[in-house]
Amino acid sequence: MSRPKVFVTRLIPEAGLNLVLNACDAEVWPGELPPPRNVLLEKVRGMQGILSLLTDRIDGEVMDAAGSQLKIVSNYAVGFDNIDIDAASERGIFVGNTPGILAETTADLAFTLLMAAARRIVEGNDYIRTGNWKTFKPMELLGRDIHHATLGIVGMGRIGTELARRAKGFDMEIIYFDHRMRSGKGESSGARMCDSLAELLARADFISLHVPLTPETNHLIDNAALARMKDSAILINTSRGSVVDSDALFDALKSGQIAYAALDVTDPEPLPPDHKLLTLPNCLITPHIGSATVATRNKMAVMAAENLLAGVSGKVPDHLVNPGVLPHHKMEGASNG
Ligand code: DGY
């Protein structure tokens, strides 16, 4: 029996890649950068599966270029804003993602950014390296207390919940707002739900974003949202860059409307080295490393590979993003995985 043909858009950890190579006739894009659009359109032709990254835009054009035999797009990420979900469902194509396994690791990074911003760690490091450390100074590099400060979590899904657990250990007061009105999730960590985002923005000392990127959350943090924050507020973003309006954030940081931002995701991404946000001392930026630990990236690779292998054999993947596909799915040979 012939092996399913799949295209893997980048080298992923061997733990998952080997599962794919052992079971499929796989082509793996070897480049350090994502395949250019024309290459992607060319490479997917005739494939039954695509293992994609968040940097690949997988829309109807890519699906049609692949052909009607395409059964699954398996994303090596929990976020799937790079994929046109409706287009996939209409064409009977499963979409898989990697939920859960990266929640603690990403929450670790969000809390790391919170602490680094509060205690001005990067500025301190630069201060020494640029020869400014002459003596102990009573009023130099003063930061903010983390303990007993108020943390506002926007989006109380798995990552937000893990962040709340960490914050509880630091005696923070935790408040949250959830667009999907998921109440009860944060309460186990002592978090209290706010009635509105506006209330959270006005009350929090630290605001951490954990929403998926959707039309509703695009530029959720805009001029008006920033204007509601305290002038001492510290904004943390480990979700998607476009949840924050970068121009509005620049203006708010530059004018002192808010105190600090710590971003693991940016808009645009990657951020060009001459971007205006990089001129600000009160903006700490890391290169989208929320899930970047050896163990978590291995787990993501295995989960993405397992979703892919299920999909190419006509089974519903364990981590299906688009249940809307099921009515459109050609059920010949399909089982419930
Ligand atoms: C995701 O999974 O969506 C993260 O942004 C990358 O791991």
Determine the Cα–Cα distance for residues 167 and 200; give it in Å rounded to an integer: 16
Which own/partner contact pairs does 55-62 have at CB distance under 8 Å and 24+ positions apart? 55/10, 55/82, 56/9, 56/82, 57/82, 58/82, 58/83, 58/84, 58/88, 59/83, 59/84, 59/87, 60/84, 60/87, 60/91
What's the pLDDT at 333? 43
Please tell me the predicted confidence (pLDDT) of residue 182: 63
Lowest-confidence region among 124-138, 188-202, 308-322: 188-202
Cite the DSSP H helix spans in 9-120: 14-23, 37-43, 60-66, 85-90, 103-118
Q: Kindly give the distance from the C-alpha atom of residue 30 to the centroid of ligand 1, in angstroms, as a whole number.
A: 20
Q: What is the mean pLDDT of the chain?
A: 95
- φ/ψ region of 32 (left if φ > 0, alpha if ψ in -120 to 50, else beta) reads alpha
119 is catalytic: no
Distances (CA, A) of 168 to 10, 100, 118, 149, 161: 38, 20, 17, 11, 11
pLDDT tier, 145 (very low <50, low <70, confident <90, very high otherwise): very high
Residue 335 banded pLDDT, cuts 50, 70, 90: very low
DSSP string, 87-118: HHHHTT-EEE---STTHHHHHHHHHHHHHHHH
Q: Is 306 designated active site?
A: no
Query: Which atom of ligand 1 is found nearest the CA of 240?
Result: 5
Residue 268 contacts by C-beta under 8 Å, 6 or more apart in sequence? 241, 246, 275
**Which residues are within 8 A (CB) of 63 and not within 5 positions of it... i.e. 6 or more apart?**
70, 73, 84, 87, 88, 91, 93
**Domains of the chain, start order:** 5-101+294-336 (3.40.50.720), 103-285 (3.40.50.720)
Contact residues for 301 (Cβ-Cβ < 8 A; gap 6+):
12, 13, 14, 15, 16, 17, 76
Active-site residue, 269 included: yes
The encoded tokens of residue 185 equal 């999730």
The pLDDT of residue 1 is 72
pTM (two decimals): 0.95
Over 50: is that where the pLDDT of 334 sits?
A: no
Q: How long is the chain?
A: 337
Stretch 4-10: mean pLDDT: 98
Q: Left if phi > 0, otherwise alpha if psi is -120 to 50, otherwise beta: which for 46?
A: left
> What pLDDT score does 189 carry?
73
pLDDT at 328: 79
Residue of 91, 158, 240, 297 with catalytic role: 240
Mutation test residue for ligand 1: of 54, 211, 240, 242, the one with most atoms within 8 Å of CB: 54
Q: CA 288, CA 239: separation in Å to the nearest integer?
A: 9
Atom of ligand 1 nearest to the CA of 265: 5
Structure tokens at 205: 């000392």
Pocket residues for ligand 1 (CB within 6 Å)? Answer: 54, 77-79, 102, 290-291
**DSSP run (H or E) holding 198:** helix 197-203
Alpha-carbon gap, residue 302 to 20, rounded angstroms? 9
